[in-house]
Amino acid sequence: MTIGIDLDDTLIETTKTGNEYLKEFITDSSISDYHDLSKDEYLKFYQAYLYDIQKNAPLKKDALKVLNYLHSKNIRIVFITARGTLGFTKSIPITLEYLKDYNVIYDKIIFRKNHKSASARKEKIDLFIDDKERVLDEIKRLGIRTLRFTKNGEKSNHDLVSSWNEVKIYIDNLIGEVKDE
């Protein structure tokens, strides 16, 4: 079995960390999420803080534990991320070093993918985990199983989880199903 996993806001606590830097970037507090900045301001914010965010955002709770567990079950792990786009090429070495520093086990990483379905197909992904509905919609269209990482009980076309422990339970059930077939 191969599992595809997104990095930002799926494996890594990116937005929460980024919004801490946002407080330095803007003095008026009307915006609390950097994704709500205008396109211009968003790029300025990225230019000032993106690499710091990528270096310092922690892994999500229990993510490492669950990845190690999946690895022990001989599940292949492929990360597919948009990092490296918009000209932020230093994100690639920063991310590789980050994953090494945290002892994150994975089999492959694919950078610079805003659209992930072609890679998901090529890598023969059985399950893809991401926080973005749009990304998962594209992947689901190929008949690949999708799991959305989200905080709130949002409306979604995909199965939902809000923690890595829930991911583990979901995959355990999936492995059970595959065995029963």
Residues near Mg ion (CB under 5 A) are 6, 8-9, 131
Q: Which CB atom, from 15 or from 56, has the smaller least distance to Mg ion?
A: 15
Q: Shortest distance, CB of residue 172 to Mg ion, whole angstroms?
A: 23
Q: Shortest distance, CB of residue 33 to Mg ion, whole angstroms?
A: 14
Q: Which CB atom, from 118 or from 175, has the smaller least distance to Mg ion?
A: 118
Q: Shortest distance, CB of residue 180 to Mg ion, whole angstroms?
A: 32
* Amino acid identity at 120: A
Q: Which CB atom, from 135 or from 171, has the smaller least distance to Mg ion?
A: 135
- The radius of gyration of the chain's CA atoms, rounded to the nearest angstrom, is 17
* Amino acid identity at 5: I
Which residue's Cβ lies closest to Mg ion?
Answer: 8
- Does residue 145 contact residue 128 with C-beta atoms inside 8 Å? yes
Q: Which CB atom, from 129 or from 171, has the smaller least distance to Mg ion?
A: 129
On the CB side of 180, how many CA atoms lie within 13 Å of its CA?
6
Q: Shortest distance, CB of residue 11 to Mg ion, whole angstroms?
A: 9
- Does residue 10 contact residue 149 with C-beta atoms inside 8 Å? yes
Strand, helix or coil for residue 48: helix
